[in-house]
């Protein structure tokens, strides 16, 4: 359901790469990878390839990236 909303241009989502692999290859979705971060699992911002991020979505992306240190617990 979340991916259908992203595909419809209603926003973005953070999902595992395996769950969107076929949709990216088919050109339905575009991946905005989070770079230089170490996660137990990989996360991506995903949005439609042919659509520019809205100001609200861009602010959300910027907020999440600015909060990454408080959102991710260090490895033990």
pLDDT at 12: 76
pLDDT at 9: 83
Place of tokens 């050109």: 27
Q: Is 76 contained in some domain?
A: no
| pTM higher than the cut 0.75 | no
Question: What is the per-residue pLDDT across 12-51, written as a single tens digit (0 to 9) for each?
Answer: 787 878 888 898 899 888 887 777 756 566 566 777 778 8
Q: Is 38 contained in some domain?
A: yes
What range does the domain containing 18 cover?
Answer: 2-71
* Domain count within the chain: 1
* 31/46 Cα distance (integer angstroms): 5
Q: Is 16 contained in some domain?
A: yes
pLDDT at 68: 72
Asked if pLDDT for residue 74 goes beyond 60, the answer is no
Q: Is 7 contained in some domain?
A: yes
pLDDT at 75: 52
């Amino acid at each position: 359901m979340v991916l259908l909303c992203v595909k419809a241009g209603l926003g973005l989502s953070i999902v595992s790469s395996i769950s969107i692999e076929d949709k990216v290859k088919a050109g339905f979705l575009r991946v905005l990878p989070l770079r230089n971060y170490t996660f137990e699992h990989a996360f991506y911002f995903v949005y439609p390839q042919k659509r520019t991020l809205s100001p609200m979505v861009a602010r959300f992306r910027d907020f999440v990236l600015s909060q990454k240190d408080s959102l991710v617990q260090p490895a033990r």
